[in-house]
Amino acid sequence: MIGFHIHPRRRQVAADIVARFAGLPVANISDVMSRMAAGGAHLRPMHDGAPMAGPALTVKTRPGGNLMVHKALNLAQPGDIIVVDAGGDLTNAIIGEIMTTYARRRGIGGIVIHGAIRDSQALRQSSFPVYAAGVTHRGPYKDGPGEINAAIALDGMIIEPGDLIVGDADGLLCVPFDRVDAVCQAAAAKQAAEARTFEEIAAGTLDTGWIDARLAELKCGGI
């Protein structure tokens, strides 16, 4: 049936790629992707802020329904990030403490809900990564439809099954499967450059001359 189907995942980022992104701030990764990719500022960490990285197992479900999310929990491999497009609706929670406890027990790397969660206090005290757009006590329904391992989009950020999903306290980001190596190298270089900037600040040698140069270039008066 169209819109109610479980697809195979045909590729996914390898574990060594995921490991290379460990310790890279999402902000640095975003910078080297021209600051053009984001799942929306409303998708916030609902856990204690522990970082997240892993291949995407995508779920598309109607708002308020989580039947396909339950199925995805059983299909996911250790380290997978389950990314759920529930339309951004906050009327009904898609997951709560029971489902996240089960996900953690199965070794899943995290869950992203473009929608709402519940049991928020328990989730905030946990290091299991959960990102969502909001919180409500109203529970979900379990009657479909939905798709697993289909392309989804969160506020314009397209996610294909197997793409790399990264997250930290600033939010989350998708790195396309065929760009992970280039993005990783560029983000690592960005992080190293920022480390040098912090050293210059500490030493009192930071050159800020670029500010006036830029203002003059833009023809700002009074400088």
CATH code assigned at 89: 3.50.30.40
pLDDT (0 to 100) of residue 210:
95
Q: How confident is the model at residue 39 (pLDDT cuts 50, 70, 90)?
A: confident
Has residue 93 been placed in a domain? yes
Q: Is 99 annotated as belonging to a binding site?
A: yes
Q: Is 119 annotated as belonging to a binding site?
A: yes
DSSP H/E element including 32: helix 26-32
pLDDT (0 to 100) of residue 52:
97
pLDDT (0 to 100) of residue 36:
87
Question: 115-124: b or e for each residue (b if 16 or more CB lie within 10 Å)?
Answer: bbbbbbeebe
| pTM (predicted TM-score) | 0.93
Q: Are 41 and 176 in contact (CB under 8 A)?
A: no
Tokens of 210: 């670029």
pLDDT of 183 above 80? yes
CB atoms within 10 A of CB 189: 12
Q: Is 17 annotated as belonging to a binding site?
A: no
Instruction: Give dist(CA 79, CA 169) in Å, integer.
Output: 19
Q: Is 96 annotated as belonging to a binding site?
A: yes
Has residue 103 been placed in a domain? yes
Has residue 210 been placed in a domain? no
Has residue 141 been placed in a domain? yes
Domain count, the chain: 1
pLDDT (0 to 100) of residue 76:
97
Q: Is 110 annotated as belonging to a binding site?
A: no
Instruction: Give dist(CA 131, CA 50) in Å, integer.
Output: 11
pLDDT of 206 above 80? yes
Residues contacting 172, CB < 8 A, separation 6+: 26, 39, 43, 52, 112, 131, 165, 166
Has residue 21 been placed in a domain? yes
Range of the domain at 54: 4-186
pLDDT of 1 above 80? no
Average pLDDT, the chain: 96
More confident residue, 52 or 39: 52
Q: Is 168 annotated as belonging to a binding site?
A: no
Average pLDDT over residues 194-210: 96
